[in-house]
Amino acid sequence: MIKEFKCCLFGFGLIGVSVGFFGLSSEVSAQASHLFRTYKHEVPQKLPETQEAVAAGKKVYEKRCWYCHGIEGRGDGPASKTMFPKPRNFTRNEYKVRSTTFGSVPTDEDLFRIVTSGIEGTAMPFWYTISETERWQVLYYVKTFNEQFKTETSPKVVSVVSVVSTPDSVQRGAELFKEFKCFECHGDDARGNGPLTVALQTEWGMPYRARDLTKAWNFKGGNAGEDIYRTISTGFNETPMGSYLEKMSDEDRWHVAHYVKSLAKDMMSDVVVKVKLVEGEELPTEPSDEAWNKATPMELPLAGQILVSPRQWTQSIDAIRVRALYNSNDIAFLLEWDDSTNKQEDVFRDAVSVQFPTKIPESLKKPYFAMGDSSGAVNLWSWKAYWKEGFGAIVEAPETEPGTVSELNAKGVKNITVQPPESQNVTGKGVYQNGRWKVVFKRSLQTEDAKNDLQFEIGKLIPIAFAIWDGSNSDVAGLKSVSSWYYVILEKPVPKTVFIYVLFAIIMGASIEVWFIARLRRFPPKLEEEQE
């Protein structure tokens, strides 16, 4: 009995361990699924800063770094023209991610961390792929571009200890976010759309953008609580993001850091947009309708359009969120994306388009994902923000103006046709609120123009792709953000027959089991010794 008990305990222990492992592994997969690479804090033993190290660093720099940062460290390398944010100009003290006070130069360790981890949301890659020695050497060389490193040998360091977040702290942080007017740049909903950020845009030598704090994948210098606390404390040199070291108590800075951390969300990416059936109800036409909550949202990343000239190397919109519903007649999409302004200028208008093949593909073959090709036509639903007649003026799209919706076909970028008025079946509208565009598209599942319009079918995987234009980023025509082909599926409701199958299977299973046990009891397995 004791042995049995032991054995059983052992079994439960193992089950416990495996359940624990299950929990652990699912957490690991959640971390791996987002795009963010962690900002590595550990720094190994420093290499002595000698003349030889600097000379060796020059070699590394001129092999790997100068293409972006420039041969003289001015951030004007030949590759810098295809990037935004621009590479760091090492001759000025515009170092952003530092543990030192505002205006000071970073410590060697800070530079080491940046070289090792890279900077998210920028072109700066991680360099842990080169040896630690090389990393120390190259940063010693980079320091020679700026005299301030010589005069300021021991900058004051702000120490960061870890403080655990609590709901109260997040709550207090939200209040402080208002009190200290963080929203003036970062916006009420922290989407980087505050009035100041928009107003100050052209005053600086280079445009800057306040961080969209809801996008966890774009935090410079890490998105952990300690990283956010460090940024609030030390600020970003040469940007309006100042230091709050003197202005806020240590405790308050932690509150704000916890609040900001609570806002930062990972991209919930997937491959298939699942369209929910709403039976016997009208589909929502307003972007802010509660009914949209019934649909599962899916987010997907966007890249600049770099396939054909002119190319958009410096795209400003990097994600779109999609939700969709259908009923027996219609299908409706809600598309949302963060845009720091709704400014429109001349031809540069905020816009979005959804792309489908004109027919659901029978095989693997699809039209080319960027506007189709001669062998595969696409059907496009386009929405453009309001534009008042006039030239050169900058206007904000008013909230009451729904924008213009049109339906197009394309067989390649040079072969785009707007469908004639009698074939325009898509309706929709857009609303701009707190740094986010919300656009609704609605169409009947089937149309009369079956040659040029996609005909939706329930339960089939239909390719879908997206493009977004940001007027304030001078996006127009080919200058846009694009996605790859994804899929959309109109979810089949679970048929009632499934439950009959399941019930039948359970009864069958139970019957076989009972029969087997009954047989086993009648003819129990016996060993020869026992029979004697």
Using left for φ > 0, alpha for ψ between -120 and 50, and beta otherwise, residue 221 falls in left
Report the residue number, 70 or 187, with the smaller CB distance to other proteins: 70
The residues in 350-369 that bind other proteins, with binding defined as CB under 8 A, are 364-369
Question: 336 pairs with which residues across the strands?
Answer: 321, 438
* Euclidean distance between CA atoms 276 and 121, whole angstroms: 33
Q: Of the candidates 58, 67, 148, 395, which one interacts with other proteins according to CB under 8 A?
A: 67
Helices (H) and strands (E) in the chain, counts: 13, 16
The residues in 246-285 that bind other proteins, with binding defined as CB under 8 A, are 271-272, 274
Residue whose C-alpha is closest to residue 355's, from 410, 398, 294? 410
Site string for other proteins, 302-321 (x = CB under 8 A): xxx-xxxx-x-x----x---
Interaction of residue 531 with other proteins, rule CB under 8 A: no
Interaction of residue 476 with other proteins, rule CB under 8 A: no
Report the residue number, 393 or 505, with the smaller CB distance to other proteins: 505
Distances (CA, A) of 54 to 155, 205, 495: 21, 31, 71
The residues in 71-110 that bind other proteins, with binding defined as CB under 8 A, are 77-79, 81-83
Number of residues that bind other proteins (CB under 8 A): 85
Residue whose C-alpha is closest to residue 439's, from 357, 349, 356? 349
> What token pair was written down for 281?
């109800």
Report the residue number, 129 or 162, with the smaller CB distance to other proteins: 129
Report the residue number, 37 or 92, with the smaller CB distance to other proteins: 37
Q: Of the candidates 129, 162, 400, 531, which one interacts with other proteins according to CB under 8 A?
A: 129
- SS3 state of residue 360: coil
Interaction of residue 506 with other proteins, rule CB under 8 A: yes
> What token pair was written down for 409?
């076909």
Report the 10 Å Cβ neighbour count for 34.
15
Q: Of the candidates 347, 393, 450, 517, which one interacts with other proteins according to CB under 8 A?
A: 517
- SS3 state of residue 57: helix
Report the 10 Å Cβ neighbour count for 505.
10
- Tell the smallest beta-carbon distance from residue 340 to other proteins (Å): 19
- Tell the smallest beta-carbon distance from residue 127 to other proteins (Å): 8
> What token pair was written down for 280?
């016997």
Structural element, H or E, at residue 433: strand 427-433
Site string for other proteins, 392-421 (x = CB under 8 A): ------------------------------
Report the residue number, 235 or 367, with the smaller CB distance to other proteins: 367
Site string for other proteins, 11-40 (x = CB under 8 A): x--xx--x--xx--xx-xx--xx-x-----
